[in-house]
Amino acid sequence: MLRVLILSLVCFLMSVNLVEAKTTVSSQPFGKLPDGSAVEIFTLTSGAVEARIMTYGGILVSMKVPDRTGKVADVVLGYDTADGYFGNSNNPGTAYFGALIGRYANRIGGATFSLDGKKYSLPANNNGNTLHGGPHGYFNQVWKAKKIPNGVELTYVSKDGEEGFPGNLTATVRYTLLGADLKMEYSATTDKDTVVNLTNHSYFNLAGQGQGTILQHQLTLNASRFTPVDAGLIPTGELKSVDGTPFDFRKATAIGERIDADNEQLHLGKGYDHNWVLDNKGGKLSEAAVLYDPGSGRQLRVLTEEPAIQFYSGNFLDGSVKGKSGATYALHAALCLETQHYPDSPNHPDFPTTELKPGGRYHTVTVFSFSSH
């Protein structure tokens, strides 16, 4: 009896210890913005894996993961200081490195939409359209932060009328790290009918940030259709089959293999910059994408409850930006896999709705799951 008791006590203590050893969370000041507002950075550590998230823009500043030999590298593009990100957010060449995007991720055509018969005008910041919530979108705001088990909870309240959107919207994003899984749990409530579409805009290079291009990375997208775009990268409304096109990533394919193909959609996007309609629907967490770097053996799986994903192959990176440790980010130095609702949904009644009403709750989960082989 005594032996059983001692054994169970040992097991209990071990399990407590294991739970505690899982992820540590710490926070430090991370400088000030030009207007004097203080920025904090949270470090989530689980063994060799480390994610750092700052309160400005809710930005994933670094993501360190081991390769197949155990060598750790930071696999997201960015800057060494909060100031670097601030400068970039306020540039015409804004890249949105690592940022949380809202109130509406991707584009709203003509910078306008109607809701309940009322027309809303938004600031146009991208060829007459609104991109990533406008120039003062969520990526460009300081979020309130609170430590939670295994991570950090960020909250931002955008005011009724801010960047043209109706309703006071309270958005909360919980970043947690479990093993090598970085989970983002997004939620939002409103006091007026509105639209909402939140995502994270990390730029991945699994060889390590600053280590060449992602053209050799192999990508799988679990999507049989995508939404073709016009010259302003606004969906035409068609859901087009990927069959027989350079947009078919249903089998792992090197990104560089067809990126220069003579294809009208690739010309319009200057490469891949499109929304793939995921085959798995129904708000269940499902695998959307797998990205693999044969060189390092690092792999990223993207799981999401969202109906779509924007695969952007870093087509606007041109080497003009100096990133972390002086790295230069040239064309295709990284790629984004932005889980989302379809771009311009407020103007496409037949797309899955992005409307949120008072009393309702927007809630969606995306996981960046890292491994190596």
- Give catalytic residues, as residue numbers: 201, 338
CA 57 from chain centre, in angstroms, equals: 12
Question: Count of residues for the chain?
Answer: 373
**From the CA atom positions of the chain, what is the Rg in Å?**
21
Cα angle 154-60-99, degrees, rounded to a multiple of 5: 75
Q: Which is nearer to ligand GLA, 126 or 158 (CB)?
A: 126
CA 239 to chain centre: 23
Question: For residue 335, what are the β-bridge partners?
Answer: 204
Say whether residue 12 binds ligand GLA (CB under 6 A).
Answer: no
Q: Which of 273, 293, 306, 344 binds ligand GLA (CB under 6 A)?
A: 273
**What is the sign, positive or negative, of the torsion defined by CA atoms of 274, 280, 281, 285?**
negative
| HSE, side-chain direction, 13 A CA sphere, residue 331 | 6
3-state secondary structure of 364: strand
Q: How far apart are CA 357 and CA 348, in angstroms?
A: 18
CA-CA distance, 340 to 102, in Å (whole number)?
A: 11
Q: Which residue is nearest to ligand GLA (CB)?
A: 312
Least separation in angstroms between residue 5's CB and ligand GLA is 58
Shortest spacing between CB 143 and ligand GLA, in angstroms: 20
C-beta of 114 vs 320, nearer to ligand GLA: 320
Q: Does 95 sit near ligand GLA (CB under 6 A)? A: yes
Say whether residue 39 binds ligand GLA (CB under 6 A). no
Least distance CB 336 / ligand GLA (angstroms): 5
Residue 5 makes CB contacts below 8 A (sequence gap 6+) with: none
Residue 133 CB, nearest approach to ligand GLA (Å) = 11
The answer to the question of residue 127 lying near ligand GLA (CB under 6 A) is no
Chosen residue from 310, 339, 340, 364 binding ligand GLA by CB under 6 A: 310
Q: Which of 42, 56, 86, 96 binds ligand GLA (CB under 6 A)?
A: 96
Q: How many CB atoms lie within 10 A of CB 305?
A: 21
312 in contact with ligand GLA (CB under 6 A): yes
Which residue type occupies 278?
L
Structure tokens at 160: 């009724």
Of the pair 310, 354, the CB lying nearest ligand GLA is at 310
Interface characters, 316-345, with ligand GLA (x: CB under 6 A): x-------------------x-x-------
Q: How far is the CB of 338 from ligand GLA (least distance, A)?
A: 6
Among 131, 142, 180, 223, interactor with ligand GLA by CB under 6 A: 131
Residues in contact with ligand GLA by the rule CB under 6 A: 95-96, 106, 131, 233, 273, 310, 312, 316, 336, 338
